[in-house]
Amino acid sequence: MERKSRQHSDSGRTEGSRKLNRNIKTELSSDEITPAKKARLLKEKTEKWGCHSVNETSPESECKQQHDDDIDRYDRSFFDQPCEILARSLLGKKLIRLMSDGSRLAGIIVETEAYLGEEDKAAHSYRGRKTPKNEAMFMQPGTVYVYNIYGMYTCMNFSAQGKGTAVLLRAVDPVEGEDVMRNHRGTKRSDSGQGLKTKELCSGPSKLTMAFHIDKDSFNKADITNNPSIWLQDPGTHIKPDDIVVTSRIGVNYAEEWTKKPLRFYIRGNQSVSIRDKVAEAGQN
């Protein structure tokens, strides 16, 4: 399983992004292009691919800065894995969020849960049930599934291989844009989020969607492989199998024999993990 995950890590980057960057450079480097045409061309390209502004004096560098990370964006093949394997593979990957004002948020995924579809009594898609709410679970791998809980919070998942399967993101370790995350979290706190430690910003499924400003209307059914505002990339490090703790999922006591299924995965020792299972950690040393 681990070998397959690494193969997807190395191969699941978007070739289209490389071609896009090469095409832009080729078109802009032409000796025949006028400055006005160059600015117009860059504006068309950046608007299409999600850049939020164009600097007419050096448009190439601005677009390049905003899209360098697209080179390492994971494509469909990464998400097109069995749900449990994808849940493991997501650990250690970097989640990037580009805000409308151009600011960036980023964090390392440190905790996930797998939901196995038709057979899984804890899954929204149990018994193959397909509704307007959970339709994203039945869409192509890499589709974002965002749902509301308690009428005021959201959770974010990625669809996996197989109908009705998805991986829930439970926790992220922030590495960029922490102050913006505090402001986002602060909308529902008396201290405006300023009392939150970095490890507390995304230490739960709804905490991370608040911190990354992910709402259902904007992101449910979005394609994580080509969305200009959110994507995954390889941070250049790999999680060792021994560093992954496998235990039961949180908050699924209604799921009978599926309650204790070992379908939650987290990085051992990471402080942003929502809930540690010390018994599982000791038994998996």
Domain ranges in the chain?
7-72, 81-283
Three-class secondary structure assignment of the chain:
CHHHHHHHHHHCECHHHHHHHHHHHHHHCCCCCCHHHHHHHHHHHHHHHCCCCCCCCCHHHHHHHHHHHHHHEECHHHHCCEHHHHHHHCCCCEEEEECCCCCEEEEEEEEEEEECHHHCCCCCCHHHCCCCCCHHHHCCCCEEEEEEECCCEEEEEEECECCCCEEEEEEEEEEECHHHHHHHHHHHCCCCCCCCCHHHCCCCHHHHHHHCCCCHHHHCCCECCCCCCEEEECCCCCCCHHHEEEECCCCCHHHHHHCCCCCEEEECCCCCCCCCCHHHHHHCC
Residues in contact with 64: Cβ distance below 8 Å, sequence separation at least 6, in sequence order: 21
Can you name the CATH fold of 81-283? 3-methyladenine DNA Glycosylase; Chain A (3.10.300)
Q: What is the pLDDT along the chain (285 residues), one digit of tens a residue?
A: 333 333 444 445 444 444 444 444 445 455 555 555 545 554 454 444 344 333 333 334 444 444 444 557 999 999 999 999 999 999 999 999 999 999 999 999 999 999 999 999 999 999 999 999 999 999 999 999 999 998 889 999 999 999 999 999 999 999 999 999 999 998 877 787 888 999 999 999 999 999 999 999 999 999 999 999 999 999 988 899 999 999 999 999 999 999 999 999 999 999 999 999 999 999 998
CB 205 within 8 A of CB 221: no
Could you tell me the pTM of the whole model?
0.77
